[in-house]
Structure 1
Amino acid sequence: MGHSQSQPIPRSVRRKQSTVFSQLVCATASSSTLASMPSKGTSEFLLVNEKSQYRDNENKRRPADGTYAYRRLSYLSPKEIISDDAAMAYNDFLREFPEYRLTWILDTLRRTDFTRLETSGETFVDYMGGALYPESLIRVHTDFLHRSVLGNTHSVSNSSKLSLKCADEARAAVLSFFQAPPEYTVVFTTNATGALKLVGESFPFSGGSTYVLSADSHNSVHGIREFATVRGSRVCYIPSPPHGGIDPVLAKNTLLRNRPRFKDLLPCLFALTGQSNITNSKTSLSLIEYASSLGYNTILDAAALAPTSLVSLKDTPVDAMAISFYKMFGFPTGVGALVVKKSFLAQLKRPWFAGGTVDVVQVPGSIVTRSHSLHEQFEDGTINYLTLPAITDGLRFLSACLPFLPLRLTTLLHYVVSSLTRLRHDTIGTPVVRILSRTPSKRLRSVGEQADTGSIISLIFLSPSGDMLPNSFIEHAASQHNISLRTGCMCNPGGAAAILEIQDDMKQLYSGVTLKDFEHLVGRELGVVRISFGLASNFYDAWEVVRFATLMSNERTREVMWNQWTEASGVMIGQAI
């Protein structure tokens, strides 16, 4: 049987916000005022050397090759303790990108909410894999859990009412954050993948229907094709240009050729990737409006887009949108959402039912009455009610930061791209890296502007002879220098094939092929090195990336790192792919 509807909560536990959150709400309301303030809030720097009177951070590992130019020191004051080289690089950076000063409020957050980055000495540049959570979010949420009694939402007890109230607040916060009109609702899922799967398994595909998508999409978007093909629908790909993304003209022609002939009888689905997680391409959301005008149902994969870009469902009325909260503000993991029009949700037909999705089930028999609330019909079992309150606070936090992120991150991207492009091997002067992903075509100058790409750099490292250095070597060397980055194809085989120029090799794949087989066919490790910036990134993260690449340009230090890698992995020099 189903559960009874909740009643008003008598004298429920009130959730309180930290000072940081209160300040952030004010910042959101007046971001233009903050941006115009003088840069006195920008980090001050205390220059030190290895013999500083301050104690060294015990967690910082010094590479055996002795190449690490300086050691980060323990977080002893609001000032950042850096080396002379870093300070000079920062001053040069500010001269070239003075607009970076407009984002000083994020430096304040770095010192108050991400202190562990300084104390651990870790350079984190894998925000596309998962954002770092602000410490105040954890404190607020932990304090709430300490003070509250929360129960399963499928009841009418006081504890259950409080849980349901928090879930409703989280739904309202999601709708508000994405500026969703009243016709939208929120279905909580395990992540963006779960949201996409929910649409794929429930969409009324049939013979004569078409599923249209971009080759430069996440595997979770590709996976919907399995539901389409098993029901006799066609799958049509929009090819990816050499630098990834979608060619708008080609996309419109593809949509036009495959448009629904009988919309009500043979519904078609168009899935758009808002931002590629490997090629750094942003796709114009106007394609959604165009596809809708042709009769398509539309879904937006916004997992990579939402963390640093404003998405307004008022301006882009997509039928459904998939997001993951940990990619937006780091916590909680294991919770995502499908933000969806109620009219579209009513068209979807679940292939099964579970606890929480039904009102009455005949046993034995075949009669099932679904829950009267649409979102409940799609939330299998019990929602993650203990962590949903953190979503409300996390969105409040991100709302305050979001206006500043595009300006800050594009300046960092410009700096790293230009620095890496100039790098040359010290022996024969050949390039150290080859950047494969898209770079911003315009330079942002003020807070609130939106970037035309994401904040990702996908690249490969090259030997002096121009051959690709194994990604596994780069990842090992980076970890030895306390740099958290990502290597591989990022669950985006189409985008990876485009920028790696292996689309013809992709055509030669056969049933049962393994990654090892594919790499043997291509003749090297597959994938890229991905650097991605996000919520807590600052100049020194970018500088560390450039400095690491500079070590790769030096024959002596590169050889030491190579020997460390081969010894650790048991790979003989010359045997690596």
Structure 2
Amino acid sequence: MPPICWCSSDAPASVARVGISGSSRRHPSLNPRPEARSVDTSSGPRSSSTSSHESQSTRLTTPYQTSPEDTKFDPDTSSGELKPQLRRSTSKQLLNFCKSLFHHDSNHAYALFLRAYPEYKLTRPVDALRQREYKRLRQSDEVYVDYMGASLYPESLIRYNSAFLRRTVLGNTHSISASSLQSAMCANEARSRVLAFFDAPAAEYTVIFTPNATGAIRLVGEAFPFGEESSFVLGMDSHNSINGIRQFALAKGARVGYIAPTSRGGMDESEAKSALKAYCPQSLSADPPCLFALTGLSNVTNSKNSLSLLTYASVLGYYTLLDAAALAPSSKISLRTTPVDAMAISFYKMFGFPTGVGCLVAKKSFLGQLKRPWFAGGTVDVVQVPGAGFTTAHEIHEQFEDGTINFASLAAVTRGLNILSRYINYLPLRLTALTHYLATSLTGMRHDVAGTPVARVVSRRPGVRPSEIGEQSDTGSTVSLIFLEPSGEMMPNSFVEYASTKHKISLRTGCMCNPGGAAAILGVQAEMDKFYSGITYEEFENIVGKELGVVRLSLGLASDFYDVHRVLRFVREVIACDVERKKLWLEWEPIKHHHA
């Protein structure tokens, strides 16, 4: 098969079906009509005049996967997994399709994109949001693809918060003055809105405000009653904030059990269940308290874990903690359906502002089992001094909110959740289409002179294609990859970061505070044996003999087709272009040596 086009498993489903069926009829996405240049790219709700044929095509192109008989082993994948391959009969059509995307202006490319992903038209209200609330992106000519790091705030949220603060007198919540009561009212409204957003019964759950998701996770870790017969079970593909709980567990003599990741991150559900059984508290005589922490969505591998594992663990006797920092911004979560004991989130990852505010949504019964190692202002009602006696605050959430909460920002939390709730049902369908298109296009790119691959996508790609608003996706919206030199060697991430910054593209490189996930998709898990405490990141890379990070492109609330198209143009016209790449390389080399 020619190496220049989308010949991987991840070609758009509507394109892939042509090759699989063996039909001689050309698919419209491979033979665009002349009027494609005048495609309607306007924003706003989808017109009621949309043809029934268009709706039908959306329903008919649901799965990305091909049938088993159309798959073969792809030796180019590091994971060694089965990869569906398109039949040779469609190679020329696919080549023409790829060329048409890269040789026309962005509006024509958008027309072709809509033909390959017609369901994307259903998300036009999000296009209207982008034009209305994110004008600064267009004005600055900036492309933002780091939503996993932080979402971008809607401009109306900042205007609302500024106006609210200008007209309102807010005081410390640890008082009963009029200004304090106003702050308390804002806090209570925000708590209620959080519970409603996550469908958490108010009789069972409460909301504890923290500086961020990490602060929420620490509250659980430091206060969980680990004992010598306790277990703490977690996945290797977890954020360091989850990994850090093991320090509290080990300090109290508990066992720590890691669930191995797949080659694409996340965890195999059957292996996870086996691990949970192996460390099961019910297999021990005293039923000691055990904790299972699940990462809802990996911030580097793009793998979603089944939330049903939380219910499974709970039945076995575990207390459960869900790290939803990466999951909550684009996925509906119902704590009524999946009643976890505790869940951690950061609001800036959901809608960009305010920073410095997260929360722990927790069952009141679970909080009653925690044993805090200290108390602070705001968490106690009265303290004996000198002496050892104290009485905790009356409200259970107050017992876990150290000091003064960020009361001046809580009105923005309520407003931000209101905004996100109007659009979150659109995001799985929209972001799945964009993510699949981005990953597929990057896989098909070649260096202009050598003809060798430009990039290797290592993160998990979408396997299920949502066709209706509200339908959930099976992955997130992150593409982690490594760029390749024409020789096939890994291109330094620091160079890619330098080049992208020069072209006003905000992305991220590294292991994303998730060493287990990064090691899994890079295939360097065995190298972890060479690690020792105290070694620096750079020293460890020298021992391994290569960079250990990836380039991460992550999409979110305000992402649209033109962001993705700009990224692809950058890769094609800079990274894959010998002349342009060498120019930037000469600029970057002195900087590289300076930092070294």
TM range (shorter): 0.7 to 0.9
Q: Distance in 1 between matches of 2:594 and 2:107?
A: 39
2:381 to 349, 356, 359: 359
Contact 1:263 1:295 (8 Å CA) reproduced: no
Greater Cα offset, 177-186 or 87-96: 87-96
Q: Distance in 2 between matches of 1:555 and 1:272?
A: 44
Please say if 1:565 is aligned against 2:588: yes
Q: Which amino acid counterpart does residue 567 of structure 1 have in structure 2?
A: P
Cα deviation for residue 570 of structure 1 reads 3.8
Q: Distance in 2 between matches of 1:313 and 1:533?
A: 25
Counterpart for residue 102 of structure 1: 122
Counterpart for residue 4 of structure 2: none
- The two structures, once aligned, show a CA RMSD in angstroms of 1.7
Counterpart for residue 143 of structure 1: 163
Contact 1:413 1:457 (8 Å CA) reproduced: yes
Q: Taking structure 1 as reference, are residues 535 and 290 closer, same or farther at Cα in structure 2, changes over 3 Å only? A: same
Contact 1:275 1:302 (8 Å CA) reproduced: yes
Please say if 1:444 is aligned against 2:485: no
Q: Distance in 1 between matches of 2:448 and 2:405?
A: 56
Please say if 1:248 is aligned against 2:269: yes
Q: Secondary structure at the match of 1:300?
A: strand
Q: Secondary structure at the match of 2:556?
A: coil
User: Could you state the TM-score of these two structures normalised by the residue count of structure 1?
Assistant: 0.85
1:319 to 316, 319, 341: 341
Q: Secondary structure at the match of 1:232?
A: coil
Q: Secondary structure at the match of 2:368?
A: helix
Please say if 1:93 is aligned against 2:113: yes
Q: Sequence identity of aligned pairs in percent?
A: 60
Q: Distance in 2 between matches of 1:559 and 1:34?
A: 45
How many residue pairs are counted as aligned between the two chains? 499
Please say if 1:204 is aligned against 2:204: no
Counterpart for residue 567 of structure 2: 545
Structure 2 unpaired stretches of 5+: 1-43, 52-102
Cα deviation for residue 84 of structure 1 reads 5.9
Counterpart for residue 481 of structure 1: 503
Q: Secondary structure at the match of 2:567?
A: helix
Query: 1:481-531 deviations in whole A, cap 9, x for unaligned?
Result: 000000000000000110111111111211221112111012122200000
Q: Taking structure 1 as reference, are residues 130 and 37 closer, same or farther at Cα in structure 2, changes over 3 Å only? A: farther
Structure 1: which 4+ aligned runs deviate by more than 2 Å? 33-40, 261-265, 567-572
Cα deviation for residue 99 of structure 1 reads 1.2
Contact 1:321 1:338 (8 Å CA) reproduced: yes
Counterpart for residue 13 of structure 1: none
Q: Distance in 1 between matches of 2:501 and 2:402?
A: 39
Query: 1:535-562 deviations in whole A, cap 9, x for unaligned?
Result: 0000000001111111211111111121
Q: Taking structure 1 as reference, are residues 155 and 571 closer, same or farther at Cα in structure 2, changes over 3 Å only? A: closer
Pairing 1:82-481 to 2, within 5 Å after superposition: 85-181=105-201, 182-261=203-282, 266-481=288-503
Cα deviation for residue 428 of structure 1 reads 2.3
User: Could you state the TM-score of these two structures normalised by the residue count of structure 2?
Assistant: 0.82
Q: Taking structure 1 as reference, are residues 405 and 36 closer, same or farther at Cα in structure 2, changes over 3 Å only? A: farther
Q: Secondary structure at the match of 1:284?
A: coil
Structure 1 unpaired stretches of 5+: 1-32, 41-82
Q: Which amino acid counterpart does residue 173 of structure 1 have in structure 2?
A: R
Query: 1:421-443 deviations in whole A, cap 9, x for unaligned?
Result: 11011222111000000000022
Contact 2:445 2:453 (8 Å CA) reproduced: yes
Contact 2:137 2:143 (8 Å CA) reproduced: yes
Q: Distance in 2 between matches of 1:192 and 1:236?
A: 22
Q: Distance in 2 between matches of 1:125 and 1:448?
A: 23
Q: Taking structure 1 as reference, are residues 562 and 325 closer, same or farther at Cα in structure 2, changes over 3 Å only? A: same
Cα deviation for residue 38 of structure 1 reads 5.3
Q: Secondary structure at the match of 1:267?
A: coil
Cα deviation for residue 264 of structure 1 reads 7.0
Pairing 1:21-60 to 2, within 5 Å after superposition: 37=48
Query: 1:22-69 deviations in whole A, cap 9, x for unaligned?
Result: xxxxxxxxxxx95674579xxxxxxxxxxxxxxxxxxxxxxxxxxxxx
Contact 1:36 1:102 (8 Å CA) reproduced: no
Counterpart for residue 7 of structure 2: none
Cα deviation for residue 167 of structure 1 reads 0.1
